[in-house]
Amino acid sequence: MICEKPLFFTSAEAQEIKALAEAKKLIVGVTYGFSGHPLLMQMRAMIANGEIGEVRMVELQYTHGFSANDSADKFSEAQKWRVDPKIAGPSFVLGDISTHTFYISQLVLPQLKVKSLLCDRQSFIPSRAPLEDNAMVLMHYDNGAVGRMWASSINAGSMDSQSIRIIGSRASLEWSDYNPGELKYEVQGQPNQLMHHGMPYLHESALADERLGALHTEGLAESWANIYLKLAIAISATQRGDQHTLDNLIYPDINAGLEGVRWIENCVRSADNGATWVNYQ
């Protein structure tokens, strides 16, 4: 089964489906379509290899300006359900877009876990309340690192874009889906480096997801294709009982979907308690 995000309204619902899928030996995948860009695997490998040192800060952003007024709420069928709590659940931009970037942070930083967070959310278009069209989230991680997320659909004048910057004790890495074929690597005291997709100096895990080669530009369609290919491999491996393939396959599975729902729940809980710090549950 392949589902859009967020997977469910509550983590309890997600846990129920996870247990059912495991009992029936079925795969549940989540369409975090941006996560198939090859250079995200390069980020993951470099961080794991210690090339930026100890992770200190995580900077996340997914914003656009296409909901800066309420015209889309009235005339766009795709927008109408997103601002309807009965259909969209307890959030708008937190569920609709921030879950993409939050999953990407989990993809490149699998060893870091959110310990606590503070979320402040707003409905600048009053008719969207209680759902937010802008949210700021501060995070504390279990290794002592700090992070923040800005999610917004009212960043007037901004095209749809997201970015992730990981700051370590000796270097930083930065990637944006606006230029998905480039990865910034900035080492303190050295000239900045700009890595390009498809080049032989990249980690084998990044090259494994390469489709067009360094000479050509890859985009969201190729990223989605990588996700669907991995979901197909997971389904096939499950049917064949190939546990080795499943253990080594990195893709947005039921656990990724569950974490996305947990992320929304914790953010909403913090915001509704007056933008206070809450332990991540």
CB count in 10 Å sphere of residue 211:
16
Structure tokens, 119: 């979320």
Specify the pLDDT at position 1: 80
- pTM beyond cutoff 0.75: yes
- Band (217; pLDDT cuts 50, 70, 90): confident
- Strand 146-152 vs strand 161-168: parallel, antiparallel, or unpaired? unpaired
Structure tokens, 105: 């942070």
Specify the pLDDT at position 162: 95
User: Rounded distance, CA 211 to CA 181, Å?
Assistant: 12
Specify the pLDDT at position 240: 94
Domains recognised in the chain with CATH numbers: 2-274 (3.30.360.10)
- Band (218; pLDDT cuts 50, 70, 90): confident
Q: Per-residue pLDDT tens for 2-47? A: 888 888 889 999 999 999 999 999 999 999 999 999 999 999 999 9
